[in-house]
Amino acid sequence: MSTPQAVSRALLEGRRPGRAPVSLIIALAVAGLALLAVMALWILSTVGIAIIFFFIALPTAVLYLSVMLWLDRLEPEPKLLLLVFLLWGMGASILLAGYLNSWSQEALWVPAFGKAIGSQLTASISAPVTEETLKALPLLFLLWRRKHELNGLTDAVVYGSTVALGFALVENVQYYMRSFFTGLEATENAVGAVVTTTMTILLRGVASPLCHPLFTVMTAVGVLYAANHRGVMRVFAVLGGWLAAMFLHALWNSGTTLAVLAGIPPTSLIGFGPLVPQYLFFMGLIAVWVWLLVKDRGKTIALIKTHLPQYAGTGAVTNADVEMLSSMSGRKAARRYVSRQYGKPAVRAMRNYQLAATELAIAHDRAIKGGSTAQQFEERRDGLLHVLTTSYQAAIGGPGVGAAPWQTGAPGVPGGPPQGPPPGGPGGPPQGPPPHGAPPPQAPPPQGAPPQGPPPGGPGGPGGPPQGPPPQGAPPPQGAPPQRSPQPPPPPIAPGTPPRQGPPPQAPPPPQGPPQDPQ
pLDDT per position as a tens digit, 254-283 = 877 776 666 666 555 555 566 778 888 889
**pLDDT value at residue 141:** 93
Per-residue pLDDT tens digits for 454-478: 444 444 444 444 455 444 444 444 4
End-to-end Cα separation, the chain, in angstroms: 46
Residue 218 has pLDDT above 90, yes or no: yes
Mean pLDDT of 13-23: 63
Across residues 118-129, what is the average pLDDT? 93
pLDDT band at 124 (very low <50, low <70, confident <90, very high): very high
What is the rounded distance in angstroms from the CA atom of residue 207 to the CA atom of residue 105?
27
Chain-centre distance for alpha carbon 405: 26
Q: Which of 7-21, 197-211, 328-342, 364-378 has the lowest mean pLDDT?
A: 7-21
Name the more confident of 274 and 98. 98
* Helices of type H across 72-126: 79-90, 92-104, 110-113, 115-121
pLDDT surpasses 50 at 505 = no
DSSP string, 181-195: HHHHHHHSSHHHHHH
Alpha carbon separation from 216 to 61, 122, 259, 399 (Å, rounded):
15, 19, 25, 46
Q: Which of 208, 137, 209, 133 is nearest to 169 (CA)?
A: 209
In angstroms, what CA-CA distances link 351 with 334, 335, 343, 357? 9, 7, 13, 10
Average pLDDT over residues 166-171: 95
Q: What pLDDT does 2 receive?
A: 58
Rounded-to-integer distance, Cα 237 and Cα 224, Å? 9
The three-class DSSP label of residue 474 is: coil
Pairwise CA distance, residues 444 & 423, whole Å: 17
Q: What residues have CB less than 8 Å from 169, skipping those under 6 apart? A: 57, 58, 60, 61, 89, 90
Cα–Cα distance between 88 and 301 in angstroms, integer?
32
Q: Report yes or no: 126 and 101 within 8 Å, Cβ to Cβ.
A: yes
Confidence category of residue 213, pLDDT binned at 50, 70, 90 = very high
Lowest mean pLDDT among 12-16, 82-86, 156-160, 370-374: 12-16
Helix (H, G, I), strand (E, B) or coil at 312: strand
The CA-atom distances, in angstroms, between 499 and each of 247, 283, 312, 328, 382 are 48, 44, 7, 22, 20
Q: Which residue has the higher pLDDT, 201 or 314?
A: 201
The pLDDT value given to residue 134: 96
Dihedral pair phi/psi, residue 312, rounded to 5°: -65, 140
Q: pLDDT tier at 167 (50, 70, 90 boundaries)? A: very high
Confidence of residue 14 (pLDDT cuts 50, 70, 90): low
pLDDT (average), residues 296-304: 94
**Is the Cβ–Cβ distance between 303 and 375 less than 8 Å?**
no
Supply the mean pLDDT for the chain: 77
Give the span between the Cα atoms of 69 and 82, in whole angstroms.
Answer: 10
Helix, strand or coil, per DSSP, at residue 317 = strand
* Residue 338: CA count within 13 A, CB half-sphere: 28
- Of 451, 433, 435, the closest CA to residue 443 belongs to 451
Mean pLDDT along residues 71-76: 90
Is the confidence at residue 327, as pLDDT, over 60?
A: yes
pLDDT score at 473: 46
Helix, strand, coil in percent for the chain, rounding step 5: 65, 0, 35
Answer whether residue 502 shows pLDDT above 50.
no
Backbone angles phi, psi at 483, to 5 degrees: -90, 145
User: Which neighbouring-strand residues pair with 483?
Assistant: 402
Lowest-confidence pick of 39-53, 181-195, 305-319, 332-346: 39-53
**Run of H or E including 12:** helix 4-12
Highest mean pLDDT of the ranges 124-133, 320-329, 360-369, 400-409: 124-133
Confidence of residue 35 (pLDDT cuts 50, 70, 90): confident
Cβ proximity of 158 and 82 under 8 Å: yes
pTM for the model: 0.74
pLDDT at 516: 56
| Average pLDDT estimate for 295-311 | 94
Across 194-210, average pLDDT? 89
Angle at 303 between CA 356 and CA 369, to 5 degrees: 100
Query: What value does the mean pLDDT take over residues 16-21?
Result: 60
Q: How confident is the model at residue 372 (pLDDT cuts 50, 70, 90)?
A: confident
Amino acid at 440: P
Per-residue confidence band for 437, with pLDDT thresholds at 50, 70 and 90 = very low
pLDDT at 58 over 50: yes
**Residue 501: what pLDDT?**
39
> Residue 213 burial (CB < 10 Å; 0-12/13-18/19+)?
buried
What is the C-alpha to C-alpha distance for residues 267 and 273, in angstroms, rounded to an integer? 11
